[in-house]
Amino acid sequence: MSTSPFDSYRPPEGEGRRRRRGGERGGDRSAAGGAGSGGRRERAGDWLTGRARGRGEQPVVPEPEFASYYGQPVVKPVPWGHEIPAYLFLGGLAAGSGMLAAGAHATGLAVLRRNARLTSMTAVALSGAALVADLGRPERFLNMMRTVKLTSPMSVGTWIFSGFSGFASVATAAEVDRMLGGRDGGRGLPVVGSLLRWVEPVGSLGAFFFGPPLAAYTAVLLSDTATPVWFESRRGLPFVFVSSAAMASGGMQLVLTPAAETVPAQRLAVLGAVGDYVAMERVERHLHGLGIDDVLHEGAAGQKLRAAKALTVGGGVLSLLARRSRLAAVACGLALAAGSALTRFAVVEAGQESARDPRHTVATQQARLEERRARGVVDDSITTAG
């Protein structure tokens, strides 16, 4: 057992698995409701399944020691589907690939440059599509471009994303031009071909410098919410996400690019994997201290995170063989990319689950309130005596 100040909010061992009977006389009905089956929000039909709040048969969730309103969520999960974790993954992949491409451009690794550029461009296009698809009103996606709002990570991110896409497009166009033989006296791209030759370095450089913010801002996007797990991970999540981006993009080039040109990709992948693992562990440890890491270990999110870790470690180990065996390289790359994707899915889903669990919101808030009161700070609580 850890000895965090939040231990009191965790159920006692063993005995805590006893569930309170509904409608117990003298008991507190709202707390009884609070002992709900995972605090899932089911407005109608909940009683039908026999899983009525606080009275269900599945003794899975231990009884928490806090009051709630029939186990209803206090905050709402963001209404995001799978498109958003996909967007996070693809954005990271695009960012890292863009940086790899730029590095390859600078260091003359032509195949790596080409492959990374195409990867980056594809990823950025797909991620944009994923983002738009998840909007409630996709036809209005351009409304984001109407303003620049520094308090909105999504607004900031949109501009970062746009910037990155712009540079990546230039670089990719230049690459296409090259592929069509524009540099070699071939036909190249019409009209813009010669211009592209001039601005190609700008595209590369732009993508290189816009990559890191693109990879990192998504962590802020998540943390800047009332979702307990994301909000509480605000100091660690950016490191997870940039590492994840590095590992995915490095891994992807291990798959696509012949060994001759994959040294930087291999390095990026390995460093990313290590960073990802370490940063995620740190985040988990922090959340554990708050008593809200359960969502990272249980349910679908837990499965994904476990798989992600296995893939990350496995991929990391395989990467040592990557330059010796093509097969190993492909396996390693795929493992790392999949690990990255699964991490994103796990983090997003765990967050949504955390929002649905009133204990996450209430217990963390109560703890920090008590902690402040213990320090003698009593003037900043939303509840006042007068």
Instruction: Report d(CA 91, CA 123) in Å as an integer.
Output: 7
Nearer to another protein, 130 or 176 (CB): 130
46 in contact with another protein (CB under 8 A): yes
57-76 binders of another protein (CB under 8 A): 66-70, 72-76
20 in contact with another protein (CB under 8 A): no
Contact 253, 99 (CB under 8 A): no
CA 83 to chain centre: 12
Instruction: Report d(CA 207, CA 249) in Å as an integer.
Output: 14
Instruction: Report d(CA 114, CA 173) in Å as an integer.
Output: 11
205 in contact with another protein (CB under 8 A): no
40 in contact with another protein (CB under 8 A): no
For 285, residues 6+ apart whose C-beta sits below 8 A from its C-beta are: none
285 in contact with another protein (CB under 8 A): no
79-118 binders of another protein (CB under 8 A): 79-80, 96, 99-100, 103-104, 106-107, 109
Out of 147, 191, 198, 375, the only residue in the binding site for another protein (CB under 8 A) is 147
What Cα–Cα distance (Å) separates residue 231 from each residue in 287, 307, 350?
A: 10, 24, 12
146 in contact with another protein (CB under 8 A): yes
The count of residues interacting with another protein (CB under 8 A) is 117
Out of 118, 133, 192, 271, the only residue in the binding site for another protein (CB under 8 A) is 271
Shortest approach of another protein to residue 189 CB, angstroms?
28
Shortest approach of another protein to residue 163 CB, angstroms?
13
Instruction: Report d(CA 80, CA 345) in Å as an integer.
Output: 11
Nearer to another protein, 182 or 228 (CB): 228
Q: Could you say which DSSP state residue 7 is in?
A: G
Nearer to another protein, 2 or 381 (CB): 381
Neighbours of 380 (CB within 10 A): 8
Neighbours of 32 (CB within 10 A): 22
223 in contact with another protein (CB under 8 A): yes
Both tokens assigned to 92: 């990271």
Both tokens assigned to 47: 């009683």
357-376 binders of another protein (CB under 8 A): 358, 361-362, 365-366, 368-369, 373
286-345 binders of another protein (CB under 8 A): none
3-state secondary structure of 184: coil
Shortest approach of another protein to residue 132 CB, angstroms?
9
Nearer to another protein, 3 or 383 (CB): 383
